Amino acid sequence: MPNGAWPPLLSRLPGVVWPAVPGQQGLLLAALLTQLDQSQWLPAAAIELGQMRQLRVLLEHAQRHSRFHAERLAGFRPAQAQGLQECLSAIPLMRRADLQSRRAEIDSAWVPPEHGELSLAQSTGSTGEPVSVRRSGLNGLIWMAMTLREHLWQRRDFSRSLAVVRAQLAEEDTERHGVSWRDWGAPVNHLFASGPSYGMNLQTDIVRQAEWLRQIMPGYLLTYPNNLSALLDLAEAGTIDGVGLGRLIQVRTIGETLRDPLRARCRQVLGVDIADLYSTQEVGVIAVECPQGGGYHVMSEGLVLELLRDDDQPCAAGETGRIVVTDLHNFATPLIRYDLGDLAEADGPCICGRGLPKIRRILGRQRNLLRLPDGRRFWPLVGAFGYREIAPVRQYQIIQRSLERISLRLAVERPLSMAEEGALAEKLNEFLGHRFVVDFEYFSPAIPRGPGGKFEDFVCEMKVGAGGTAPASA
């Protein structure tokens, strides 16, 4: 499609094909997308002004209808705040533990009926500590608009087929044979015609996934980074030629932290790039990759994102901080300065010219920092851990249990010898920079995924600042 142009719209009015008249949901999405096409090019100051106007309305609603926020915002006058940062810095942070223990108080007693039907969005996260929020039809509309924006930014060819491998298909694909639909589904089918889409349960054996992909030969594949990595393993090993992805245009990744080495592997093995999407069940689409300048643009028309250092001050470009979000349109369960527990690196203005703020890279969960006895904390880039050079390991996961003990969880092609275990432990300690006691745990045929189908190759089960083995709470 020409740069900046939409594909032909799908008309839902009988007897009319041109100019197209979409259905009611499509008309609302088209109206939002038209505004988003314009607002993305506004200067950063103008975008902040729009956010501030919406934030004032949200805060006034939360003060009036949410007991939790009435307590937090007692005496606060949103209309008197001079700017976005001044307004936000006066509001205490909201934690995941608040959402777990005080959700009934956080929920608004009244929501504008025009915002549509309320539903419950649940997120288990990788920790298995569930949270849930009420979201309105308005929230769903914003989510769909941002998803369509990402499709259009990437200039996807909707006439091609889409394959989806994810955990949410567990109930639809109970037999793990794959399911199919006539189009890409919502939100695409509200505005555009599309090719077929196919889905497979994430828990399906990876060889079966590869066989299925070879049968359907999709144009686009959406899955989690660790599942993509396993498919690339098959392709590199020559188990299945090209893993059935010879017609692939692009891979889309969601749900887990995407590392640069996986981007490079995908390009080398399959000859295509990855487009990553940062979202959560609680908030929706948070940031989308820039098709021109790399990095992630924040979806600022729907939320405010802060990157905060340890002293709770905003990060400058190049600094790493905690991601704190405010959902500007959730009047049912107001999420105001909600600490997601993720870490990211701030960036400056983008070469593409968009005024939307930018994240250079998303680094992962705070709990995924290795902790050493001397107080140092850092991300262990365990993807570079050369386990295959030592033993026939299909899959691994590293769990820090304490300051002195690490569990190395393995799925292997055959039982390992004591010499191989010793060599793996030695290599891991060299890689981590500390002499840990290494415990081996074996799984067959694969290491189980966490709640929600997510998988993390390194997890620290210690609380920040703890010296024992207490499980993390974030």
Specify the pLDDT at position 337.
97
Specify the pLDDT at position 259.
86
The reply to whether 449 falls in a domain is: yes
CA 73 to chain CA centroid, nearest Å: 30
Alpha carbons 393 and 414: distance in angstroms, whole number: 9
Burial class (CB in 10 A: 0-12, 13-18, 19+), 419: exposed
Answer positive or negative: Cα dihedral of 148, 151, 155, 160.
negative
* Tally of domains in the chain: 1
Q: Which residues of the chain have pLDDT under 50?
A: 1-2, 126-128, 464-474
Question: Position of tokens 């992962």?
Answer: 364
The reply to whether 397 falls in a domain is: yes
The reply to whether 180 falls in a domain is: no
Report pLDDT digits (tens) over 425-471.
Answer: 998 888 788 899 999 999 988 888 766 566 777 888 886 443 333 22
Contact status, residue 251 vs residue 272, Cβ threshold 8 Å: yes
The reply to whether 409 falls in a domain is: yes
The reply to whether 405 falls in a domain is: yes
Q: Structural domain of residue 403, as residue ranges?
A: 369-460
* CATH code (residue 382): 3.30.300.30
The reply to whether 269 falls in a domain is: no
The reply to whether 429 falls in a domain is: yes
Specify the pLDDT at position 237.
77
Specify the pLDDT at position 256.
84
The reply to whether 403 falls in a domain is: yes
